[in-house]
């Protein structure tokens, strides 16, 4: 078989697998598989052209036939394993672009048909900066495929919802002013190992906070319930006039999926 024929066969098989998953669902359906299936269905409807996925690690979004994606992360593949030791033994997709997901500094203006950010925005210290840059790099009519964890269904359930006012302060003043508070809150209210608190004494608590900050460990800096997510998106439109047009919202397992289009105006 020629090289061209082999490549065509691979593409056809990938297309068939994608379509079967999107239409029929996944075998032995579980909550996690249902989440994957819902992502597939939305990707099949909204993902077109060429775009970027941020922070996909080992669970990238399946892309429909004909679409092309590049992967972006702040670390190369080797450093991703160093910074996420829980991924050792699992396959991590090496990024095509090494860049900061908040700034997207190397991505040209109005250059992308889609941008995928699944379970990454909660890790950003300055989410509003990310949304500004997402709108910058998307073409008009481009799609931001966004998923956020619903805090009440995760280890963040005991934390307070991040308010829009807090996010505005992180954007206007800079996230350094609240960085220590975020680590303290995470360690005190969320960090655990197998449902066991990761510290027992106040000294252990302070030591763990210091360790995570020194390592620049990627915690959930911000957390939201569905109402908080909607407050965020409305605030981006009204206060910052970002041209975000909601196309779809789906609560799915422990996450909420938003399909957001870049319009010509925020109104």
Residue found by looking up tokens 């990761």 in the block: 198
Strand partners, 68: 50
Which residues of the chain fall below pLDDT 70? 1-32, 81, 86-87, 193-195, 265-267
Say if pTM beats, i.e. exceeds, 0.75: yes
CA nearest to 160, candidates 222, 217, 253: 222
Q: Are 114 and 142 in contact (CB under 8 A)?
A: yes
Q: What is the pLDDT of residues 122-162, one digit of tens each?
A: 999 999 999 999 999 999 999 999 999 999 999 999 999 99
> Which distant-in-sequence residues (6+ apart) come within 8 Å of 158 by Cβ?
189, 190
**pLDDT at residue 27, rounded to an integer:** 42
Q: Where are the domains of the chain?
A: 3-149+225-262
Sign, CA dihedral 75-78-79-80, equals positive
Which class in CATH covers the domain with range 3-149+225-262?
Answer: alpha beta
């Amino acid at each position: 078989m020629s090289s061209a024929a082999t490549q065509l066969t691979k593409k056809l098989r990938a297309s068939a697998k994608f379509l079967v998953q999107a239409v029929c669902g996944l075998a032995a359906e579980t909550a996690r598989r249902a989440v994957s299936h819902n992502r597939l269905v939305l990707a099949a409807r909204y993902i077109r052209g060429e775009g970027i996925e941020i922070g996909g690690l080992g669970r990238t979004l399946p892309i429909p036939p004909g679409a092309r994606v590049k992967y972006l992360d702040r670390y190369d593949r080797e450093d991703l394993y160093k910074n996420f030791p829980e991924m050792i033994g699992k396959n991590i997709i090496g990024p095509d672009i090494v860049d900061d997901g908040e700034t997207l500094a190397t991505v040209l203006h109005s250059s992308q048909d889609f941008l995928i950010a699944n379970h990454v925005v909660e890790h950003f210290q300055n989410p509003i900066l990310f949304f500004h840059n997402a709108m910058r790099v998307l073409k008009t009519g481009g799609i931001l495929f966004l998923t956020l964890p619903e805090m009440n269904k995760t280890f963040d359930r005991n934390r307070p919802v991040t308010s829009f006012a807090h996010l505005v302060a992180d954007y206007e003043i800079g996230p350094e002013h609240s960085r220590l508070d975020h680590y303290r809150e995470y360690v005190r209210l969320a960090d655990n190992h197998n449902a066991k608190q990761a510290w027992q004494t106040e000294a252990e608590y302070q030591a763990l906070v210091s360790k995570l900050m020194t390592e620049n460990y990627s915690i959930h800096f911000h957390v939201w319930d569905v109402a908080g997510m909607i407050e965020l998106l409305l605030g981006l439109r009204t206060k910052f006039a970002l041209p975000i047009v909601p196309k779809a919202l789906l609560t799915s397992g422990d996450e909420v999926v938003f399909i957001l289009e870049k319009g010509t105006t925020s109104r």
